[in-house]
Amino acid sequence: MITAEQKPLEEIQQMLAGVDKLLILGCGTCVTVCLAGGEKEVATLADLLRLKGSIDQITEATIERQCDQEFFEEVTRKIEDADAVLSLACGAGVQLLARIFPEKCVYPGVNTRFIGLVEEQGKWLESCLACGDCKLGKFGGVCPIARCSKSLLNGPCGGSIDGKCEVDPETIDCAWQLIYDRLAKLGQLENLTEIEEPNDFSTAHDGRPRRLDRADMHL
């Protein structure tokens, strides 16, 4: 899931300077799970902004997904009635909102962090860098690119102690210890006998916008 955290209130206030009618729009998926932009967070932020008293009218709404155009239909009237929209979705949702309503001021209320796994309530672990050259099948479902502090494809580095990474022995598990243990349980340790070629980062993010086109899904 995509993880995010809400921007500081002071930064949000600065962005909204001069706005009289504001819609705070939450998203019911990823940012709801990580407690950054769901219905509860929308309500809390709206109350805080009302207490500050700088915005005359604040409206609240949350849709199922802001990364999918069809879900905006239910809040079209609220968006049109507002001077600006503060989106609590990830960066993709903010951009889609701005594209659908080009005449409306749209501001981000959260900082998008990474693609991660839920470790426990309130804790998420970055687990995928969307590198475009997935090798999880060879490494037992543990990604050395995202999980190893040095992104080693042929590890371990020799710096781990008792299964912990030398970068932070208190909190970071050695990805290569995890990989070894997992492959041992699966009876696939032979996967580690071959030298892995450098990752093909030509399909990874290089600063330019990317697009995934599934021709078989076209209508």
For the whole model, what pTM was predicted? 0.76
- Of 48 and 138, the structure prediction assigns the larger pLDDT to 48
The secondary structure of the chain in percent helix, strand, coil, rounded to multiples of 5, reads 35, 20, 45
| Residue 47: CATH number of its domain | 3.40.50.2300
Assess if residue 121 is contained within a domain.
no
DSSP for 164-202 reads B-TT-TTTPBPHHHHHHHHHHHHT-GGGGGSPPPPP-GG
How many domains, in total, are found in the chain? 2
Q: How much is the mean pLDDT over the chain?
A: 88
User: Are residue 93 and residue 10 in the same domain, yes or no?
Assistant: yes
Query: What pLDDT sits at residue 210?
Result: 45
- Arithmetic mean of pLDDT, 128-147: 84
User: Are residue 96 and residue 190 in the same domain, yes or no?
Assistant: no
Q: pLDDT tens-digit profile of 6-19?
A: 999 999 999 999 99
Question: What confidence category does residue 128 fall into, taking pLDDT thresholds of 50, 70 and 90?
Answer: confident
Of 113, 145, 163, the position where a domain reaches its end is: 113
- Of 158 and 26, the structure prediction assigns the larger pLDDT to 26
Does position 216 have pLDDT exceeding 80, yes or no? no
User: Are residue 28 and residue 90 in the same domain, yes or no?
Assistant: yes
Q: pLDDT tens-digit profile of 166-212?
A: 999 998 999 999 999 999 998 999 999 989 888 776 655 554 444 55
Of 57, 80, 113, the position where a domain reaches its end is: 113
